[in-house]
Structure 1
Amino acid sequence: MLEFWYSDQCSRQIKLMICIATCVMIYLCSTVQQLSPMFTGMSITIGIGIHGLRALSLKIAADNPYKKGFAILILVMPLMAFITLISALLTQHKIILALQVIGFAAIGLFILSMFANRRFDKNEQR
């Protein structure tokens, strides 16, 4: 999924639609029960961390012996962070809160990945 998000096939319009759909999903879930600000911040941090790990993995040469281990780390670290965060949620409406955790992590990833790929024109008119 990340490969599609970072590929040229995923246009700006697709990314915008995915971001809007994610925000709508978070809003609908928050009408049932809101996620606390602490969990929201940690979720966004997980999303930012996923982007950071991917950026680091791209800097490792393909013939490096640590490349495969780092690919496993990119999979395991966010998964463990999600499991830990979701297990600490309240038991009432846990699925709704877990969806919000995943949504906010996605928003953190979306914002950072779109900003990192942004091209600024020096001669841009304002």
Structure 2
Amino acid sequence: MLEFWYSDKCTRQIKLIVCIATCVMIYLCSTVQQLSPMFTGISIAIGMSLHGLRALSLKIAADNPYKKGFAILTFVMPLIALITLISMLPAEHRLMLIIQLIGFAAIGLFILSTFPKRRFD
């Protein structure tokens, strides 16, 4: 899915629609129970770090023996961080909090992934 997000096939309109849908989903879940600001900040940081790890993995040469290991690390590290955060969530309305947590991580990714392609005319 990340490959599609970063490809030319994913237009600005698609990215905007996905961002708006994610924000609406977060808002609807927050009407049941709000995610604490600490969890929100950490999940946004996880999304931003996912973008940073992907950018670093693209800088590694294709013939480098560490390329495959770094690709695995790019996938595993944010996943472990999200699972750790999910395990620390309160039990009441846990599903709504998990959806918000993943949504904020996606927002963190969206913010950084769309910024380099902006045109300031």
TM-score, normalised via structure 1 length: 0.94
**Which residue identity does 2:106 align to in structure 1?**
A
Work out the CA distance in 2 between the residues paired with 1:60 and 1:69.
11
**Once superposed, which parts of structure 1, at least 4 consecutive aligned residues long, lie more than 6 Å away?**
none
In 1, the alpha carbon distance for the partners of 2:2 and 2:88 equals 26
The CA deviation string for residues 55-114 of structure 1, in whole angstroms up to 9 with x for no partner, is 000000000000000011011101100000000000111111000000000000001110
2:100 corresponds in structure 1 to 100
TM-score, normalization: structure 2?
A: 0.98
* C-alpha RMSD over aligned residues: 0.7
Looking at structure 2, the residues matched to 117 and 2 of structure 1 have their Cα atoms a distance apart, in angstroms, of 16
Report sequence identity in percent: 78
Q: Distance in 1 between matches of 2:95 and 2:65?
A: 39
Unaligned runs of 5+ in 1: none
Q: What is the number of equivalent residue pairs in this alignment? A: 121
SS at match of 1:46: helix
Describe the SS at the equivalent of 1:10: coil
C-alpha deviation, 1:115, in angstroms: 0.6
Q: Which residue of 2 aligns with 1:39?
A: 39
Question: Which residue identity does 1:112 align to in structure 2?
Answer: L
Alignment of 1:1-126 (within 5 A): 1-120=1-120, 124=121
Q: Give the whole-Å Cα distance in 2 for the aligned partners of 1:116 and 1:41.
A: 22
Larger-gyration structure (1/2): 1
Structure 2 spans left out of the alignment, 5+ residues: none
Code of the aligned partner of 2:47: G
Distance 2:87 2:43 in 1: 13
State the shift of 1:119 in Å: 3.1
Compute the displacement of 1:118 (Å): 1.8
Q: Deviations over 1:14-64 (max 9, x none)?
A: 000000000000000000000000000000000000000000000000000
